[in-house]
Amino acid sequence: MAEAVLLRNVVALAGRFPVLAGADLTVAPGQVVLLRGANGAGKTSLLRLCAGLLPVASGQALVLGEDLSLDSRGVRRRVGMLGHATQLYDDLSVRDNVRFSVRAGGGSARDADAALEMVGLTGRLADTPASRLSAGQRRRAALASLVGRRPELWLLDEPYAGLDADARGLLDGLVTSAVAGGASVIIASHEAGQVEALAQRTVTVAGGRTTEAVLVP
Amino acid sequence: MFRDAVLVAGKDLKVEYRSRVGAQQVLPFALVVLVIFAFTLDANHDLLQTAAAGLYWVAVLFAGVLTVQRSFALEAADGLRDGLRLSGLDPAGIFLGKAAAVAGQLAVLELFLAGGIAVLYSASLHGIVLLVLSAVLATVGLAAAGTVYGIVAAGLGVRETLLPLLLLPVVAPVLLAASKVWEITLQSGPGAWGWMRILVIFAVVYLAAGVLAFGPLLEES
């Protein structure tokens, strides 16, 4: 089966600055890969590149079979990204936000409602404007948008930030069931312990390069 | 494309309905513009009546700039522009949806402003078919051009001041043609249809430009 992600010597620029300077990464279908690295090492850039948000300057970049150097838009509907921003419209309710995101990805209002239930945002909370949510609740709402879209590739950038213990457990459970369903997951995280248990491989990013890939027993 | 447009227009209109920025800020601003003109020209009431059409469209134009700015400010925070790119929505659909939402808000605003010139300027609103038809065409043109230049300005740090600078000269033909149609119609004169052609051409050109160019512009923003 083709790799979910195949990057070979990929260079990507932000303006004139090379945020990725020859990155290599392979992720198999159904695999969870943990990205490690200091702040500014290029972890977020690597995730944004896989999402088709950062153009490929040179090298080979195939994500879900799509060649990103030819077309970076085609893959977007098939990936889900949970980043530092929650991508919520403050004036819309949680339900409206999630429904918009899920329907934009080709899903239905029913898929969105099911996702809200999965992350525990039901009842009055679902009808609360996003502006009134706590940081942790906003992360849950963003997670519901991601889950409802049923992406084939999950790109999680510091996904545990702002989450309490229950929500962390919930996230781990959602990742586990997505992987069981065939999705691949890349997690960029500074957290130790919990996330390492999920990952089959750890890749270290430094200076815009993937410098190390260690198999976790 | 049209399914995506409906989705985006529905979302933008829902945000506006919930935030009430249009009703509580843009509409009062446009009415204040009409009132200021009324104060300025009230000594010459005949001039006020003659200029009513032009002043009406100036007020619509100013309010239109605010409405377009607001439309793109929605996605300025919390990674929402990335969210829009990642959504998988057809960029042409996003353009049509955002333009439709702007047009819808402008249409409501124009109704109130028409009442405003009837009351403040004693303008007699006859020839209603021509007035409505020209207003629809001008609104589509303003919304389409505004959405194109809105996304151009959205990615720049000085978008609040840049958008009026970019947009106002571009939509000058709409202001001129719509003002002329209304002026001629309100004074029961001939020749309105010639100006209507300009409104049709402008609307078609900017709708086509937006459908074709919005994708690359969204990527650059």
Residue A86, chain B, CB below 8 Å: the answer is yes
Average pLDDT, chain A: 88
Which chain B residues are Cβ-neighbours of A104 within 8 angstroms? 4, 7, 87-89
Asked if A92 lies within 8 A of B18 by C-beta distance, the reply is yes
Judge: A101–B74 Cβ closer than 8 Å, yes or no.
no
Q: Which domain holds residue B83?
A: 2-220
Do B131 and B182 meet the contact criterion of CB atoms below 8 Å apart? yes
Which residues, listed in sequence order, are joined to residue A8 by a DSSP beta bridge? Answer: A60
Query: Which chain A residues in 59-78 lie under 8 Å from chain B, judged by CB atoms?
Result: 73, 76-77
Instruction: Dig out the tokens for A189 from the structure.
Output: 């995280």
Least confident of A57-66, B131-140, B186-195: B186-195
A54: distance to nearest CA of chain B, Å? 10
Domain count, chain B: 1
E-only strand ranges, chain A: 5-14, 17-27, 32-36, 58-63, 66-67, 79-82, 153-157, 184-188, 201-206, 209-215
**pLDDT digits over B197-206, tens only?**
999 999 999 9
Q: Best residue in B86, B89, B219, B221 to probe A by mutation, most A CBs within 10 Å?
A: B86
pLDDT band at A217 (very low <50, low <70, confident <90, very high): very low
Distance (Å) from the C-alpha of residue B87 to the closest C-alpha of chain A?
A: 6
Digit-coded pLDDT (tens) for A54-67: 888 899 999 998 99
B79 and A129 in contact by Cβ < 8 A? no
Confidence of residue B157 (pLDDT cuts 50, 70, 90): low
Query: Would you list the DSSP string of A33-88?
Result: EEEE--TTSSHHHHHHHHTT-S---EEEEEETTEETTT-SSTTGGGEEEE-SS---
pLDDT tens digits along B36-51: 988 888 777 788 888 8
Q: Do B19 and A91 touch (CB under 8 A)?
A: yes
The answer to whether residue A84 neighbours chain B at the CB level (below 8 Å) is yes
Q: In this complex, do B7 and A87 lie within 8 Å of one another by their Cβ atoms?
A: no
